[in-house]
């Protein structure tokens, strides 16, 4: 039952419990979703509408959730939870479902439906929701919109159906194009039209991508079908021209047409070329940062992806629970480093990460020395541990977590019967969700506007936890661990800089990104780009000198062996030649100034060319 304060006001806090008789209480009341054994007998997807503009989103998300459940054979009952526009989607189960499966389903649905409150479905001990007919503290009661209460009083849902729902949502999550695509660790080659590609021999399309080519994308989510095709083509080492030659296939409908008022209308050739170029470059960059190990040839990928996702999620939950750790003077940068390491671990499917302080600094939007000292602080406090020190061109390797051990194999030889439900194949999707979350957080925080000369690192971390929907200062204070007073000060600075907006319901982002103008006003515009050029030059200089050291230590095959100079081609490459060529020398000693001058000349990037029209690429392919 909902608590009532000393003034008679009903609180959104359910602390009193009693067994409900024939006559329900007059005050708001809720029921537990899980039984005493912590297995779920009821599922309720609570789509909140805490702001005036969120009611439509909650209704839409409830419709999506109900559709997913219905597709799996379950019988959802959708209720209007109260006068605010929130929605409850109920399902009753004839077979109890374990808490891990339910939490996985909830996280996957939340990725597609942002209004979903995870608390009831991820807390088997105390998760509860007001059932149909229960009053709301703001007036009114929870009313059934679609479905029948009989589906709740005479449950039919099974474990297999819940698993089917989870796997269907996992498929939808995997098919969706991510909002944020992480930067590849190494520069990618480009063709003559400046389209990225992955080097290597061209391979046949994976079965899922080949099937998507003939899918009627115009009748469904055309962008998701296109994404499935493009990531398969990128991982198979296709080029832009290869994909452009297939734009007349049904699955490529998103390129040649666009949705307008319920129908699809044709794009111009220039618009089609721009669309394909945009999505292709994103797909190549995504595959480069997240190797497509989930191919048909690797049946263990889903298991390994689920294991690393669970490990990273545990680290992130521990970090969120230790919010005060990130409010110290160096705390904001330490949290960025931890998030960046988690992102790299997810990309590589390993808890052991080779962390180059320059690349780590660029990823987190901080300096290399800050990254180096941050790694040491995280190691000292037990968040990470150094596995191997830096040596030559290889950076130090760090292990995430106290032990860095993840368990992906079930134990064998047990004396008792294993009564656990069969595993749901959702590991890859859970990894995808975490990748999207961490990539978005690091990208949002790593900006010129959030450098020490501008709004600062803490402001960047705070901004990364805001959305287009208003949030209260208290919620943002809890998310960052900062005091309410400090959070208010930082929010006011962000509003003054035009980066955030304030209305009657809270703080939110502007639909137009205002970080660049803010950086310009502070005089820090271009700072991170300059830092990236400097670090790339330093890495190249170090790599060149390491190659020179290797050549000097190698045995000579001929007394008068000469190597090609920098930028020259060797007729017969050997182990003693590198792409850098001979290191400049002066009076028999290494000339570092000349080496820097040579590499500095190569720093300016070539001007990007316009993508070739689709029609022209069709003729080239023919």
Please list, residue by residue across 454-487, b when 16 or more beta carbons sit within 10 angstroms of its beta carbon and e when fewer do. bbbbbbbbbbbebeebbbebeebbebbbbeeeeb
DSSP string, 18-34: ----SS--SS---EESB
Residues 6+ positions from 262 with CB-CB distance below 8 Å: none
Q: What does the pLDDT average to over 252-278?
A: 82
Q: CA dihedral defined by 205, 207, 209, 215, rounded to 10 degrees? A: 130
293 pLDDT tier (thresholds 50, 70, 90): very low
561 pLDDT tier (thresholds 50, 70, 90): low
pLDDT at 614 over 60: no
Report pLDDT digits (tens) over 80-125.
Answer: 988 778 899 999 999 999 999 999 999 999 988 889 999 999 999 9
Report pLDDT digits (tens) over 573-592.
Answer: 444 445 567 788 888 788 88
In a 3-state reduction of DSSP, which class is residue 352? Answer: strand
Lowest pLDDT segment from 9-18, 458-467, 521-530:
9-18
Residues 6+ positions from 606 with CB-CB distance below 8 Å: 194
- d(C-alpha 354, C-alpha 534), whole Å: 21
pLDDT value of residue 172: 83
- d(C-alpha 207, C-alpha 228), whole Å: 11
Residues 6+ positions from 445 with CB-CB distance below 8 Å: 336, 364, 365, 457, 460, 461, 463, 464
CB 303 within 8 A of CB 408: yes
Q: What residue has token string 């000339």?
A: 591
Q: CA dihedral defined by 475, 480, 485, 489, rounded to 10 degrees? A: -100
Cα 157 to its chain centre, rounded Å, is 32
163 pLDDT tier (thresholds 50, 70, 90): very high
pLDDT value of residue 558: 52
In a 3-state reduction of DSSP, which class is residue 280? Answer: helix
Q: What does the pLDDT average to over 175-185?
A: 69
In a 3-state reduction of DSSP, which class is residue 262? Answer: coil
Residues of the chain with pLDDT > 90, as a percent, come to 38
Q: What does the pLDDT average to over 470-482?
A: 90
Cα angle value 181/183/186 (rounded, 5°): 145
296 pLDDT tier (thresholds 50, 70, 90): very low
**Which DSSP state fits 135?**
B
**Phi, psi of 264, rounded to the nearest 5 degrees:** -110, 130
* Three-state helix/strand/coil letters over 171-195: HHHHHCCCCCCCCCCCCCCECCCCC
pLDDT at 258 over 90: no
- d(C-alpha 10, C-alpha 1), whole Å: 10
Kindly tell me the sign of the dihedral angle through the C-alpha atoms of 228, 346, 536, 335.
Answer: positive
Length in residues, the chain: 622
pTM: 0.77
CB 426 within 8 A of CB 173: no
pLDDT at 499 over 90: yes
- d(C-alpha 175, C-alpha 282), whole Å: 14
Lowest pLDDT segment from 279-293, 338-352, 359-373:
279-293
Q: What residue has token string 């925080």?
A: 445
**DSSP-H helix ranges across 349-472:** 357-364, 368-380, 427-445, 457-463
pLDDT at 374 over 90: yes
- d(C-alpha 72, C-alpha 166), whole Å: 9
Residue that wins the pLDDT comparison between 21 and 321: 321
Q: Which of 559, 572, 431, 455 is nearest to 517 (CA)?
A: 455
184 pLDDT tier (thresholds 50, 70, 90): low
pLDDT value of residue 546: 78
CB 182 within 8 A of CB 436: no
pLDDT at 456 over 90: yes
Q: What residue has token string 């000097």?
A: 552
pLDDT value of residue 371: 94
| The most confident of 252-261, 264-273, 354-363, by mean pLDDT | 354-363
Q: Which of 360, 436, 476, 396 is nearest to 112 (CA)?
A: 436
pLDDT value of residue 219: 56
Read off the tokens for 416.
């008792």
**Which DSSP state fits 605?**
P
CB 444 within 8 A of CB 340: no
| The most confident of 174-188, 219-233, 259-273, 479-493, by mean pLDDT | 479-493
pLDDT at 420 over 50: no
**Which DSSP state fits 325?**
G
pLDDT value of residue 380: 93
- d(C-alpha 90, C-alpha 66), whole Å: 9
pLDDT value of residue 418: 39
Cα 68 to its chain centre, rounded Å, is 22
609 pLDDT tier (thresholds 50, 70, 90): very low
Residues 6+ positions from 399 with CB-CB distance below 8 Å: 351, 352, 353, 384, 385, 386, 387
**Phi, psi of 434, rounded to the nearest 5 degrees:** -65, -40
Read off the tokens for 553.
């230590």
- d(C-alpha 87, C-alpha 505), whole Å: 20
Read off the tokens for 235.
């991982």
Kindly tell me the sign of the dihedral angle through the C-alpha atoms of 295, 301, 303, 307.
Answer: negative
- d(C-alpha 194, C-alpha 608), whole Å: 6
Lowest pLDDT segment from 46-50, 467-471, 571-575:
571-575
Quote the mean pLDDT of the chain.
Answer: 82
């Amino acid at each position: 039952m909902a608590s009532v304060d000393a003034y008679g006001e009903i609180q959104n806090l359910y602390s009193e419990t009693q067994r409900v008789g024939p006559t329900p209480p007059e005050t708001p009341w809720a029921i537990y979703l899980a039984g005493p054994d912590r297995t779920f007998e009821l599922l309720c997807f609570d789509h909140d509408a805490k702001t005036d503009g969120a009611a439509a989103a909650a209704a839409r998300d409830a419709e999506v959730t109900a559709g997913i459940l219905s597709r799996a054979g379950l019988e959802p009952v959708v209720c209007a939870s109260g006068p605010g526009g929130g929605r409850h989607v109920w399902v009753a189960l004839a077979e109890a479902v374990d808490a891990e499966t339910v939490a996985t389903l909830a996280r996957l649905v939340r990725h597609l439906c942002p209004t979903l409150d995870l608390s009831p479905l991820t807390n088997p001990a105390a998760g509860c929701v007001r059932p149909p007919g229960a009053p709301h503290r703001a007036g009114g009661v929870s009313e059934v919109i679609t479905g029948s209460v009989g589906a709740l009083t005479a449950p039919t849902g099974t474990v297999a159906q819940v698993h089917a729902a989870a796997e269907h949502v996992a498929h939808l999550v995997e098919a969706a194009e991510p909002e944020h695509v992480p930067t590849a660790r190494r520069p990618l080659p480009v063709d003559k039209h400046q389209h990225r590609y992955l080097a290597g021999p061209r391979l046949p399309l994976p079965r899922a991508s080949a099937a998507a080519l003939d899918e009627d994308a115009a009748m469904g989510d055309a962008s998701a079908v296109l994404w499935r095709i493009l990531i398969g083509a990128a991982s198979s080492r296709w080029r832009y021209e290869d994909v452009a030659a297939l734009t007349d296939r049904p699955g490529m409908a998103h390129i040649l047409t666009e949705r307008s008022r319920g129908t699809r209308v044709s794009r111009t050739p220039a618009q089609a070329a721009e669309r394909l170029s945009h999505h292709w470059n994103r797909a190549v960059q995504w595959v480069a940062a997240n190797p497509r190990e989930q191919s048909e040839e690797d049946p263990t990928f889903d298991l390994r992806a689920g294991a690393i996702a669970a490990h990273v999620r545990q680290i992130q939950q521990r970090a969120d629970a230790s919010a005060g750790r990130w409010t110290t003077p160096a705390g904001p940068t330490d949290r960025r480093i931890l998030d960046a390491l988690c992102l790299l671990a997810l990309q590589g499917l390993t808890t052991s990460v080779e962390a180059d302080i320059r690349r780590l600094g660029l990823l987190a939007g901080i300096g290399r020395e800050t990254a180096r000292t941050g790694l040491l602080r995280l190691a000292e406090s037990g968040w990470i541990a150094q596995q191997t020190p830096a040596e030559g061109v290889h950076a130090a390797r760090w292990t995430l977590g106290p032990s860095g051990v993840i368990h992906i194999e079930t134990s064998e030889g047990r004396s008792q019967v294993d009564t656990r439900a069969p595993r749901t194949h959702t590991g890859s999707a859970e990894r995808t969700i975490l990748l999207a979350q961490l990539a978005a957080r690091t990208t949002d925080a790593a900006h010129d506007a959030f450098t020490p000369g501008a709004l600062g690192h803490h402001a960047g971390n705070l901004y990364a936890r805001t959305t287009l929907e208003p949030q209260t200062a208290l919620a943002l204070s809890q998310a960052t661990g900062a005091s309410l007073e400090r959070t208010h000060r930082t929010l006011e600075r962000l509003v003054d800089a035009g980066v955030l907006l304030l209305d009657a319901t809270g703080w939110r982002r502007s639909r137009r990104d205002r970080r660049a103008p803010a950086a310009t006003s502070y005089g820090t515009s271009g700072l991170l780009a300059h830092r990236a050029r400097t670090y790339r030059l330093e890495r190249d200089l170090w790599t060149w000198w390491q190659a020179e050291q290797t050549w000097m230590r190698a045995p000579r095959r001929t007394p008068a062996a000469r190597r090609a100079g920098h930028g020259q081609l060797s007729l017969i490459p050997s182990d003693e030649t590198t792409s850098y060529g001979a290191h400049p020398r002066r009076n028999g000693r290494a000339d570092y100034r000349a080496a820097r001058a040579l590499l500095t000349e190569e720093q300016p990037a070539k001007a990007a060319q316009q993508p070739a029209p689709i029609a022209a690429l069709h003729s080239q392919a023919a």
